[in-house]
């Protein structure tokens, strides 16, 4: 989720992340914040955010589109890119490089 690196208002909360999980979304990444961050951390879906953010404010974040190029944390992210994350951070592997990087990673 491109939140323009602005965690002042939550990008998502536990209800939205739970719904995404039920729809078989592989994971959630935002350069903004999450409401209910401790509850989201217990869900069976990878979810990464900049920091917890209690308020929801539709004047700061609005859903505009889906499956379009965005910027997240200063990185360009395109549909079909591979996102890899753990507790230390998240990286974007552009789709056209994914197979090559996977081969190198397995060496």
Residue ranges of the annotated binding site are 13-16, 35-36
Please give the Cα distance from 1 to 12 (Å, whole number).
Answer: 9
- Which residue's structure tokens are 């990673």? 105
User: Per the annotation, where are the binding residues for substrate?
Assistant: 13-16, 35
Q: Which residues are annotated as a binding site for Mg(2+)?
A: 36
Give the ranges where 1-107 is alpha helix by DSSP (H): 14-22, 37-40, 95-106
CA gap 95, 20 in Å, rounded: 22
């Amino acid at each position: 989720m491109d939140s323009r690196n602005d965690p002042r208002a939550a990008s998502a909360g536990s209800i939205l992340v739970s719904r995404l999980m039920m729809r078989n979304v592989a994971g959630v990444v935002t350069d903004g914040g999450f409401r209910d961050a401790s509850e989201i951390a217990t869900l069976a879906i990878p979810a990464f955010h900049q920091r917890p953010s209690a308020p929801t404010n539709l004047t700061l974040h609005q859903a505009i589109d889906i499956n379009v190029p965005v910027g997240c944390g200063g990185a360009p992210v395109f549909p079909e890119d591979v996102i890899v994350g753990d507790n230390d951070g998240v990286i974007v592997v552009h789709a056209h490089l994914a197979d090559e990087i996977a081969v190198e990673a397995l060496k």
